[in-house]
Amino acid sequence: MTVFSVVETTATGVRRTGPEPAAHYPGVRIEHSASSFELMRDHPGTQPVYYRIGYGRLEWGSRLRDFLDGVVAPDPDPGWLLALIQGVIPAPDSTPVPGVQRLSVGTAVRVDPTEVRVSWRRPVQQRAVGGLSQVVAGSLGSSGSEFTIAYSGGLASAFVAASAIRAGHRPLLLHADLGPAFRAKSLAEVPGLEIRRIPVDPFELLDHHPITGDELLPPLPDIEVPRRMLARLAADHGIPIVSGGLLTTLTSVKLPDVQAGLRGWRLLGCEPFHISGTLRTLTEARELLGKGVVVYSPDAPRDGVRRAPDAQPVGAPPPPSPTGGATLPGLTAAGRQTLETAHRGSMALWQDHLDSLGPALGRLTAGLEERGDGGAVLPALDPGVLAAVAAIKPARLGRIRRGMVRTHLPLHRAVADHGIDGVDESSPGFWLRLAGAGYLYRERAKIIAELERGCALADLGLIEPAVITGVLRDGRMLAELALPLLRMVWIDRWLRGRS
């Protein structure tokens, strides 16, 4: 029985067989007639679509497992596994199933009587209608008359709350109370809305033991932990939950695009993080810009746990960069070479892909791949919201102030206009790094015992487990290495479950 849709060429046109898609795939456009069929992704979406082409034939669907044709999934590529551990995002159209591609933004697959052709086209964007806050407020209506908001107290969730009030909604704000370590500052109140604090154990979110190995793709904490948290928030309410995820990604700006002042004098105050002090001359500042340096992120105060500085890349638009600090320790010589090859290949493909999409769409596409949707409704994925951001001049998204690139200005203005003070400006992944370090420290004896009993990554010749267990026993490097180590523990658990 065919479990995916099939389109085949005939002498006079095309024939469609298999199940008709039962759901609309956001961001995917399907055009068909008696003589042709075309599948294209115009916009990032939460539902992936996969396809496989053959002679005069296109197979497509939303479940990757269906393409295995009943056989066991192939062994994962070692370089792919190490890239995932390091936080490198796989190539935009890649899958672990040979011959099967994921439909990436801008990709079109067309079937007609003469051929099956895969091509790339620049996605058609909507025209901007209204300002960003207005458009986000309007998009919230698509969630129905009732919805809740996942409220972290950060800039994006505060912006969504303010937009909801602007649209006449009074949603409940659900805040995951992760414990004392995450309460360095008081939670920003939203005038007119109630905040309900829901106790959530961060170590339950990070637990790697539920991983069975039956998953076709290895679960990663970067995507699975936020999904678990939002599921916990939504469990007692039964109505859609809206998240501000990706709004800060979408409204970020690059240093070369902000107003640098008369003849660029504001550049002199910027602080590249790898250089002590400030720049000496404007010539030096421009030279560093041309080399693609990195400067401190917007408003990066160094006065508390919840306001950790983040990195602001220069270059447009950058591919998804490895996240989570330093490289996983204990790589063998073969492991280092394998990771380097996989990293270079993935980054080259991503750079070409994002260069073709343009800044706003590129940032949104990369951000969704890095963090996922968490199972929530994301206004950032609304095509109208993307159009509104794309219509804003980069110089209005950010500015240089006191040596820092202050970005996300439309979000800051809307939040300030509504009287919301003291929003948390940590980077989106900061709480996960903090929780990951705590989890590894608490569970390190158990993890060490698991690795000493057997390590699938070591069996592949990729790592030396004694180095990993040494780092865990020492404990001093856990904060810097939290995410690579956590991903390694999750993926090793997945590999052992497959055997």
Give the whole-angstrom CA distance, residue 359 versus residue 385. Answer: 14
Does pLDDT of 203 surpass 60?
yes
The residue assigned the tokens 């800051």 is 412
Write the DSSP assignment of 96-139 as a string of letters.
SSTT-EE--TTEEEEEETTEEEEEE-PPPPPPP-S-HHHHHHHH
Give the whole-angstrom CA distance, residue 469 versus residue 451. Answer: 8
Does pLDDT of 407 surpass 80?
yes
pLDDT value of residue 308: 33
Query: Could you read off the pLDDT of 99-123 as tens digits, one per residue?
Result: 999 999 999 999 999 999 999 998 8
Does pLDDT of 275 surpass 60?
no
With vertex at residue 358, the alpha carbon angle to CA 357 and CA 363, rounded to the nearest 5 degrees, is: 90
Q: How many CB atoms lie within 10 A of CB 293?
A: 18
**Cβ contact 324:433 at 8 Å:** yes
**Cβ contact 285:270 at 8 Å:** yes
Give the whole-angstrom CA distance, residue 487 versus residue 86. Answer: 8
Q: What percent of the chain has pLDDT over 70?
A: 82
Does domain 125-317+363-428 fall under CATH 3.40.50? My reply is yes
Does pLDDT of 386 surpass 50?
yes
Query: Could you read off the pLDDT of 417-430 as tens digits, one per residue?
Result: 999 998 988 777 78
Q: Which residues of 469-478 are buried (b: 16+ CB within 10 A; e: fewer)?
A: bebbeeeebb
- Which of 378, 389, 390 has its CA nearest to residue 142? 378
In this predicted model, which residue has the larger pLDDT, 488 or 302?
488
The runs of H, that is alpha helices, within 167-220 are 202-206
What is the rounded average pLDDT of the residues 174-191? 85
Computed over every residue of the chain, the mean pLDDT equals: 84
pLDDT value of residue 463: 95
With vertex at residue 326, the alpha carbon angle to CA 180 and CA 374, rounded to the nearest 5 degrees, is: 55
pLDDT value of residue 307: 35
Q: What percent of the chain has pLDDT over 90?
A: 53
pLDDT value of residue 237: 83
pLDDT value of residue 499: 73
Residue 484's identity, in one-letter code, is P
Strands 57-61 and 5-9: antiparallel
Q: Measured over all CA atoms, what is the biggest interatomic distance in the chain, rounded to whole angstroms?
A: 71
Does pLDDT of 354 surpass 80?
yes
Residue 464 is given by DSSP the state -
Q: How many CB atoms lie within 10 A of CB 427?
A: 18
Supply the pTM of this predicted model.
0.85
Least confident stretch, 31-35, 229-233, 313-317, 447-451: 313-317
**Cβ contact 172:194 at 8 Å:** yes
Give the whole-angstrom CA distance, residue 485 versus residue 206. Answer: 12
Does pLDDT of 298 surpass 80?
no
Give the whole-angstrom CA distance, residue 187 versus residue 421. Answer: 9
Write the DSSP assignment of 73-94 as a string of letters.
PPPPPHHHHHHHHHTPPPPTT-
Give the whole-angstrom CA distance, residue 246 versus residue 155. Answer: 11
Tell me the backbone φ, ψ of residue 215, rounded to 5 degrees: -65, 135
Give the whole-angstrom CA distance, residue 83 versus residue 338. Answer: 9
pLDDT value of residue 21: 66
Determine the 3-state secondary structure of 303 from DSSP. coil
Number of helices (H) and strands (E) in the chain: give both, helices first: 16, 17
Query: Could you read off the pLDDT of 117-154 as tens digits, one per residue?
Result: 999 998 888 888 888 999 999 998 776 678 999 999 99
pLDDT value of residue 269: 52
pLDDT value of residue 103: 96
**Cβ contact 202:438 at 8 Å:** yes
pLDDT value of residue 321: 53
- What are the extents of the domains in the chain? 5-120, 125-317+363-428
Query: Could you read off the pLDDT of 7-26 as tens digits, one per residue?
Result: 999 888 899 988 776 567 88
